């Protein structure tokens, strides 16, 4: 690369960065400012619309209520993955959708839930809304070659069979679709439909198609609902949570910049600029794709900034190794990027597979987390492999050609990690066992194995009119302490009703005496009129179905990652060792939740998913070095195998520590500066980062060595047997 080209590349990247930074600053400066808000925020940060439905059916069963809540959750995910649905009392369901302020608009688009029936020409009911999986408005090209508006239907397994019977028996006839005893469509059956998908044509406009699709979607609920009330609720946490998180991000970025430049010199400058490009691109894409941002989402982004450093660290470590081997700086740069490619791709693709599965199979916060994770992975690879590469080569072209600007790997005495593997195994087993013992003690004492939050177990919602417009900080400092005395717990969620002086408090389940005591406290200390106080039991916002979705998503993701690692490394021992190390880290973090009794809520799911992504990425880097090293070494016995494993760990240990340090600092700042709920997220995450680093160095490779040694012993025994013959 010529000097003039290097200058041009530097100028172009810096100009692009300036433009991105300007756009990002505009987006962030308006975050949290009402209607001018540029990034969609969740209920915890910005509030939204709350709609309460009354069940029309008499004496709905628990199963019917749970089924309706789950299906309604799926319906409203088109508005936001962070929307919440929960049961209130015995026969009411509340829907909370973040980022919107017009309840009427949502009600109009969502429709009024009612009964849906697919009938034959004689009026017999052949299918109900329970058999419908999805319904959406779209366009298709008809036989005349022009576009027409249609509704696409997809049925579940049982519905597919019923619809096949209906259409097979009535080809050429019209079969009405009835919603709340009113015929909303009279489609003609042109042929037998057995594949589980169908199209309703004949719409005059897209709006007509969307209305029909909306009625079919909402009509597939198990119970008939009618709107009881709707209101706009304020943020649960407010701007303080945003400002402290942004402050943590700024300080963290400054630390990373200083660390990278001090440790990697010219390459560190390139990484710092690339990281700035990465950060601004993340903000821009979240805005462009209208991803709803919640507090765990902000924490996840800040965490991803720390993890984005990893690819650069891998590359720079490789460049230093090449320089130390006697190659020129120019050759070392090219070779360093080339050798780092497989580790970066394998680590990130493995995590991307997990994100894809979580996005497809998960629901609620799991789906939102998956989107953010995928964005972070793709952008980190782009900035490391493209932006950093261009910058390093540009710096070399303009005159930074001496190896002193890049450094070289120093010879260090290697540590025999494999020899200490049994000690590591015992330490890990003891930590994990302590977690299970803690859960057992908690359960025996009636506190539960884990400290499940309101999102998992539900509780009591108390609404009161204080006659005064309190700020969230005033509520936290003046009102919450009194409520804590009554309920005996610090886990209290607060929401303000917009354009009113009403406040909603969500606590653990209160009995009648506790409710009366809380009412008396509010009357005596704040002059609340007792007539304005109302209490209802509320169900969990994370339903058993959503939890099941999350568990299955993680299981499927683990299987997919195992298959990918097996395929890429051509050895199932790498795959099983990586998955076992991943399980180790999850159990260690679970121990943290168990022993410290940290509240297990929606952030728990986000925390565990983050650890899974971080752990697998960290392990893959070490395994990639083993794969490379074993090609140049003839493994004949246990000693040569041990040499390969120890050498690989020692060659990558500085990278593991540097990446973990930058990531840990980012999360530590969240814990230090953040609000209470984000502290509950950051603390176990710090434990997970330490555990992930420990497992990649002390557990994963040791497990691979143990399994490889066993097969090596069998191979040696077989060869000895053949020689004797």
Task: Report residue 170: phi and psi, to 5°.
Answer: -135, 40
CA–CA distance, 289 with 283 (Å, rounded to integer): 10
pLDDT at 406: 92
pLDDT at 30: 58
For the segment 130-141, the average pLDDT, to the nearest whole number, is 85
pLDDT tens digits, one per residue of 666-693: 889 888 887 666 787 889 989 999 999 9
What confidence category does residue 112 fall into, taking pLDDT thresholds of 50, 70 and 90? low
Cβ contact 54:70 at 8 Å: no
Residue 283 scores a pLDDT above 60: yes
Least Cα distance to 91 among 52, 40, 144 occurs for: 52
For the segment 492-521, the average pLDDT, to the nearest whole number, is 89
Cβ contact 664:689 at 8 Å: yes
> Interior CA angle at 647 toward 564 and 264, to 5°?
85
For the segment 80-101, the average pLDDT, to the nearest whole number, is 80
CATH 3.30.70.3400 occupies which residues in the chain?
A: 48-111+229-233
Span 428-436+543-718 CATH architecture: Up-down Bundle (1.20)
Instruction: Read off the DSSP letter of residue 532.
Output: G
pLDDT tens digits, one per residue of 33-52: 444 456 777 766 667 788 88
Residue 549 scores a pLDDT above 80: no
Percent of the chain beyond pLDDT 70?
89
CA–CA distance, 464 with 531 (Å, rounded to integer): 9
pLDDT at 33: 47
pLDDT at 405: 93
pLDDT tens digits, one per residue of 158-178: 999 999 999 999 999 999 999
pLDDT tens digits, one per residue of 444-487: 998 889 988 888 888 899 999 999 988 877 888 899 899 999 98
pLDDT tens digits, one per residue of 428-445: 999 999 999 999 999 999
H or E stretch at 704: helix 700-724
CA–CA distance, 367 with 81 (Å, rounded to integer): 6
Average pLDDT of every residue of the chain: 84
For the segment 633-642, the average pLDDT, to the nearest whole number, is 83
Model-level pTM?
Answer: 0.76
What confidence category does residue 111 fall into, taking pLDDT thresholds of 50, 70 and 90? low
Pairs from 652-657 (Cβ < 8 Å, separation ≥ 24): 652/317, 652/621, 652/622, 652/625, 653/415, 653/697, 654/317, 655/310, 655/313, 655/314, 655/317, 655/621, 656/618, 656/621, 656/622, 656/693, 656/696, 656/697, 657/693
What confidence category does residue 32 fall into, taking pLDDT thresholds of 50, 70 and 90? very low
Which class in CATH covers the domain with range 48-111+229-233? alpha beta
Cβ contact 188:174 at 8 Å: yes
Among the residue ranges 52-61, 73-82, 328-337, 637-646, the one predicted with the least confidence is 73-82
For the segment 572-595, the average pLDDT, to the nearest whole number, is 93
Helix ranges, 30-95 (H): 43-46, 62-76
pLDDT at 35: 45
Instruction: Read off the DSSP letter of residue 452.
Output: B
Say which residue, 228 or 197, is predicted with more confidence: 197
Say which residue, 464 or 115, is predicted with more confidence: 464
For the segment 194-198, the average pLDDT, to the nearest whole number, is 91
pLDDT at 108: 63
For the segment 141-169, the average pLDDT, to the nearest whole number, is 89
Task: Report residue 453: phi and psi, to 5°.
Answer: -85, 180
pLDDT at 713: 66
DSSP 491-529: --EEEEBTTSSEEEEEES---HHHHHHHHHHHHHHH---
CA–CA distance, 329 with 487 (Å, rounded to integer): 66
Q: What is the CATH number of domain 3-27+238-404?
A: 1.20.1640.10
Among the residue ranges 244-248, 542-546, 615-619, 688-692, the one predicted with the least confidence is 542-546
Task: Report residue 174: phi and psi, to 5°.
Answer: -95, 135
116-220 CATH choice from 3.30.1360.200, 3.30.70.100, 3.30.70.260, 3.20.20.140? 3.30.1360.200
Span 459-538 CATH architecture: 2-Layer Sandwich (3.30)
pLDDT at 34: 45
Residue 19 scores a pLDDT above 80: yes
pLDDT at 286: 82
CA–CA distance, 57 with 64 (Å, rounded to integer): 10
Task: Give the number of other Cβ atoms within 10 Å of residue 282's Cβ.
Answer: 20
């Amino acid at each position: 690369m010529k000097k003039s080209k290097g200058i041009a590349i530097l100028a172009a990247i810096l100009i692009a960065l300036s433009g991105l930074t300007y756009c990002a600053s505009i987006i962030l400066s308006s975050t949290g400012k009402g209607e001018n808000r540029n990034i969609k925020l969740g209920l915890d940060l910005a509030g939204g619309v709350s709609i309460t439905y009354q069940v029309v059916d008499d004496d709905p069963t628990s199963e019917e209520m749970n089924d309706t809540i789950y299906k309604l959750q799926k319906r409203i995910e088109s508005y936001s993955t962070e929307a919440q649905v929960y049961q209130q009392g015995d026969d009411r369901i509340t829907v909370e959708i973040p980022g919107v302020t017009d309840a009427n608009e949502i009600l109009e688009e969502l429709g009024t839930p009612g009964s849906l029936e697919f009938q034959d020409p004689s009026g017999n009911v052949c299918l109900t809304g329970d058999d419908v999986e999805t319904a959406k408005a779209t366009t298709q090209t008809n036989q005349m070659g022009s576009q027409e508006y249609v509704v696409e239907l997809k049925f579940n397994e049982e519905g597919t069979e019923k619809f096949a019977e209906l259409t097979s028996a009535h080809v050429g006839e019209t079969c009405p679709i009835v919603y709340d005893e009113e015929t909303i469509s009279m489609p003609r059956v042109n042929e037998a439909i057995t594949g589980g998908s169908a199209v309703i044509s004949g719409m005059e406009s897209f709006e007509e198609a969307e209305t029909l699709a909306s009625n079919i979607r909402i009509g597939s609920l198990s119970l008939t609902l009618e709107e009881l009330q709707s209101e706009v609720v304020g943020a649960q946490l407010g701007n303080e949570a945003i400002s402290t998180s942004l402050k943590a991000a700024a300080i963290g970025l400054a630390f990373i910049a200083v660390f990278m430049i001090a440790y990697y010199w010219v390459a560190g400058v390139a990484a710092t600029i690339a990281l700035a490009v990465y950060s601004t691109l993340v903000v821009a894409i979240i805005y462009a794709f209208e991803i709803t941002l919640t507090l765990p989402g902000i924490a996840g982004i800040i965490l991803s900034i720390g993890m984005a450093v990893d690819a650069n660290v891998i590359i720079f470590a490789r460049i230093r190794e090449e320089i130390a081997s006697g190659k020129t700086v120019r050759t070392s740069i090219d070779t360093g990027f080339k050798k780092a490619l497989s580790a970066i791709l394998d680590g990130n693709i493995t995590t991307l597979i997990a994100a894809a599965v979580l996005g497809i199979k998960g629901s609620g916060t799991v789906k939102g987390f998956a989107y953010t994770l995928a964005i972070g992975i793709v952008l980190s690879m782009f900035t490391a492999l493209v932006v950093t590469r261009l910058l390093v080569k540009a710096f070399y072209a303009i005159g930074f050609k001496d190896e002193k600007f890049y450094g070289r790997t120093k010879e260090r005495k290697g540590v025999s990690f494999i020899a200490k593997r049994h000690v590591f195994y015992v330490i890990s087993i003891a930590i994990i066992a302590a977690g299970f013992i803690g859960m057992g003690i908690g359960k025996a004492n009636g506190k539960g194995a884990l400290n499940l939050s309101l999102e998992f177990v539900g509780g009591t919602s108390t609404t009161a009119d204080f006659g005064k417009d309190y700020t969230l900080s005033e509520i936290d400092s003046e009102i919450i302490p009194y409520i804590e005395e009554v309920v005996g717990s610090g886990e209290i969620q607060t929401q303000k009703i917009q354009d009113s002086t009403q406040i909603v408090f969500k606590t653990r389940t209160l009995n009648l005496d506790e409710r009366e005591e809380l009412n008396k406290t509010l009357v005596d200390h704040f002059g609340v009129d007792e007539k304005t106080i109302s209490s209802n039991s509320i169900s969990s916002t994370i339903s058993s179905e959503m939890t099941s979705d999350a568990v299955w998503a993680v299981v499927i993701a683990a299987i997919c990652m195992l298959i990918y690692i097996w395929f890429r490394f051509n050895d199932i021992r790498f795959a099983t060792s990586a998955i076992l190390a991943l399980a180790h880290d999850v159990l260690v973090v679970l121990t943290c939740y168990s022993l410290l009794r940290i509240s297990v809520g929606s952030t728990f799911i986000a925390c565990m998913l983050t650890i899974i992504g971080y752990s697998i990425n960290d392990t893959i880097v070490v395994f990639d070095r083993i794969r490379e090293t074993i090609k140049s070494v003839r493994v004949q016995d246990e000693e040569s195998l041990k040499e390969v494993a120890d050498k690989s760990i020692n060659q990558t240990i500085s990278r593991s520590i540097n990446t973990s340090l930058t990531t840990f600092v980012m999360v530590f700042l969240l814990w230090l500066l953040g609000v209470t709920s984000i502290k509950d997220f950051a603390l176990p995450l710090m434990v997970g980062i330490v555990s992930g680093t420990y497992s990649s160095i002390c557990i994963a490779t040791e497990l691979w060595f143990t399994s490889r040694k066993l097969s090596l012993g069998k191979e040696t025994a077989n060869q000895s047997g053949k020689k004797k013959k």
